[in-house]
Chain A
């Protein structure tokens, strides 16, 4: 009798879960980088509209995979889907998928050189040279010339990069590919690459941990992580020739600079963007929304959410250290939303 009632409870619980899934719960999966703001947005959207959106921060690659296979209603990624992936999506689902930028992030160079407390300036050549292993000493002219007055030691540089696949690595290598032909040919851009030199740390915290433990090292972390943990980081010379320190304004500026040449599908890289105060290692993060939905309620909820996130939702961005979308991009996205049917 006891066992029977146990089974009954289990069956009821299962039925409850199934009902909840049938009742307009929307599932998304993808990038970890925007997870803090997405979860805040979903929570606020739920309070305002009652719609439940469930998001798993499983990584951009997994997000693209899951939305392609139809196991989630929408995906999210730190790097735009490439042409092969778009083709694969179309082949599998018979319809297209749209990219919607939501907020912006950036990757910043950070270093640990005993005796150097100044903020260092990095030229594109210096960064590419260091990460290619060509520049191996801190007092190399390529670094020293941009940092007059800083007493740089003649020690070997230890490069530290991310070991896990990540959107931050994508932004970093995308930038290096743009400023260095050698990097483009030998390494390329991606969430994981075959690094010419250096040690790998898992996650921003792994890179920071290794950096603190290793004298004369250089690495890169997300701007948000650096800001929240008060890690000092260097400036990078942008396309206009100015050394810019990454902050919310200079990252948004990079997006504004790129918005004039923004393609219709928003799949754009804004690294090395024009603009005097633009920070060159910036990037959008995207929501991946299918063009056609079978379920009209789901479609409307998702459309409402995107509309809300890129307008009212932007107000939450800066408190969480994400850079806001520039107005030009928001207007363009609002128009593009009508393509979702």
Chain B
């Protein structure tokens, strides 16, 4: 049936093309070719993206050079542009978000996959998938109406009273700022970590658990020492996904971060992220240098994602070499 549908009527193949055509008739070759094209297009899009960003930011690169990365000033009137404050804001908010989301997310995934009865686990998973599909602007609204007032009236005063000796928790708290953005981002990325980690944990072969239990370990020991290490690559994958989302998130961040380019040791201080400034200023950017600096910020974000992902992967390789029981996962 498959052969008849792709039969080439009237074709009179010459000798050397006969084998190719016969393979074509086979269908496998076509499937291979088409899927290869799809896979290649992903690479092509990435390359084109970098190329476009690179070409369209040439003016800014010439003018500011490497100083672009360390300059704090962002002044559209004087046409002086630097990315330092935005890089700082992007890294800090994503870092705060992951610090909160990783333990919460993995803990919840372990509960759902290993400990909860299916009656509880399945409906919960439904809600988590729902959370993952909520548009980011909704999380921004949540941030504006719930997290910001909570930050000003409760979270910040409590942190100041208990951990106020740390520079991280000093200075005036307006409600908006790095910590608020980090919390909103954490809420946004937790569903990704839970969903992916749960799937990975569930796919750990049953005999691994049974072997651990048969050796006399408790339920928790079998989960923590056998199942989780077995699934660690997949769990790390979920964290990469969360990191990528946190770095690139635009709408929710710009609604709660304060949109002030500054570097401050305090997490209460308002800041700015790369994605947020691009979204805010791109449409009204007059002047080539201004526009190109914004495009170069896009390139920086690309680079940042690349580097942080690389570092995370390196960390995984290093710990995998040291750790035990990772098996073939």
A29-42 interface bits toward B, Cβ cutoff 8 Å, 1 = contact, 0 = none = 00000000000000
Residues in B with CB closer than 8 Å to A274 are none
A188 touches B78 (CB 8 A): yes
Q: Pick from A156, A202, A206, A213: contact of B172, CB below 8 A.
A: A156
Within the assembled complex, what's the spacing in Å between the Cα atoms of A191 and B73?
A: 17
Are B76 and A206 interface neighbours, CB within 8 A?
A: no
Q: How many angstroms from the CA of A214 to the CA of B258 in the assembled complex?
A: 12
Q: Which residues of chain B are within 8 angstroms of A189 by Cβ–Cβ distance?
A: 77
User: What chain A residues lie within 8 Å of B281 (beta carbons)?
Assistant: 164-165, 192
Q: How many A-B residue pairs have CB under 8 A?
A: 90
Residue pair A202, B258 in contact (C-beta under 8 Å): no
Q: Is the CB of A199 within 8 A of B259?
A: yes
Pick from A61, A164, A198: contact of B260, CB below 8 A.
A198
Q: How far is the CA of A112 from the CA of B155 in the complex (A)?
A: 22
- How far in angstroms is the closest Cβ of chain A from B12? 25
Select the stretch in B30-38, B112-120, B282-290, B307-315 that faces chain A.
B282-290
Q: How many angstroms between the C-alpha atoms of A60 and B286 in the bound complex?
A: 8
Distance in angstroms between the alpha carbons of A65 and B288 in the assembled complex: 10
Query: Do A192 and B258 touch (CB < 8 A)?
Result: no
Alpha-carbon gap, A187 to B76, bound state (A): 10
Residues of chain B within 8 A (CB-CB) of A188 are: 77-78
Q: Are B260 and A192 in contact (CB under 8 A)?
A: no
Contact of B286 with A191 in the complex, beta carbons under 8 Å: yes
- Contact check, B284 vs A165: say whether CB atoms are below 8 A apart: yes
* Residues in B whose Cβ lies below 8 Å from that of A61: 283-286
Q: A209-B144, A214-B174 given as contacts; is B254 within 8 A of A202 (CB)?
A: yes
> Is A193 among interface residues, defined by CB-CB distance under 8 A?
yes
Task: Please tell me if A85 contacts chain B, counting CB pairs below 8 Å.
Answer: yes
Q: Give the total of B residues in contact with A, Cβ under 8 Å.
A: 31
Check A192/B76 contact, CB under 8 A, given A62-B284, A85-B286, A163-B254: yes
> B175: CB under 8 A from chain A?
yes
Q: How far is the CB of B261 from chain A (nearest CB, A)?
A: 8
A102 to B36, CA, bound (A): 55
B108 CB–A CB distance under 8 Å = no
Are A202 and B259 in contact, CB atoms less than 8 angstroms apart?
A: yes
8 Å CB interface, A237-296 against B = none
Find chain A residues with CB under 8 A from B283 CB: 58-59, 61-62, 164-165
Most central of B74, B75, B152 by chain A CB within 10 Å:
B75
| Cα–Cα, bound, A206→B257 (Å) | 12
Tell me, in angstroms, the Cα distance from A149 to B303 when the chains sit together: 57
Of B78, B280, B285, which contacts A163 at CB under 8 A?
B280
Is B255 interfacial (CB-CB < 8 Å)? yes
B77: which of A158, A193, A199 is its contact (CB, 8 Å)?
A193
Task: Tell which of B144, B260, B286 touches A199, judged by Cβ atoms closer than 8 Å.
Answer: B260
Closest residue to B277 on the A side, CB-wise? A163
Q: Which residues of B contact A96 (CB under 8 A)?
A: none
- Is B176 close to A, CB under 8 A? yes
Interface 1/0 per residue, A194-214 and B, CB below 8 Å: 110011111000100110011
B229 at the interface (CB under 8 A from A): no
List A contacts of B152 (CB < 8 A).
Answer: 213-214
Q: What residues of A have a CB within 8 angstroms of the CB of B286 in the complex?
A: 60-61, 64-65, 85, 190-191
| Most interface-central of A60, A191, A192, A193 (chain B CB within 10 A) | A192
User: Do residues B259 and A201 form an inter-chain contact, with CB atoms below 8 A?
Assistant: yes
* B285 adjacent to A165 (CB under 8 Å): yes
Could you list 20 further interchain pairs (A-B, Cβ under 8 angstroms) beyond the known A64-B286, A194-B77, A200-B272? Answer: A59-B284, A61-B283, A62-B284, A156-B172, A163-B259, A163-B280, A165-B280, A165-B281, A187-B77, A188-B78, A190-B286, A192-B280, A194-B75, A194-B78, A199-B258, A200-B270, A209-B255, A213-B149, A213-B152, A214-B152
Could you name 24 residue pairs across A and B whose Cβ atoms are closer than 8 Å? A59-B283, A59-B284, A61-B286, A62-B284, A84-B287, A85-B286, A158-B174, A164-B279, A165-B282, A187-B77, A189-B77, A191-B286, A192-B285, A193-B76, A194-B77, A194-B78, A200-B280, A202-B255, A206-B255, A209-B144, A213-B148, A213-B149, A213-B152, A214-B152
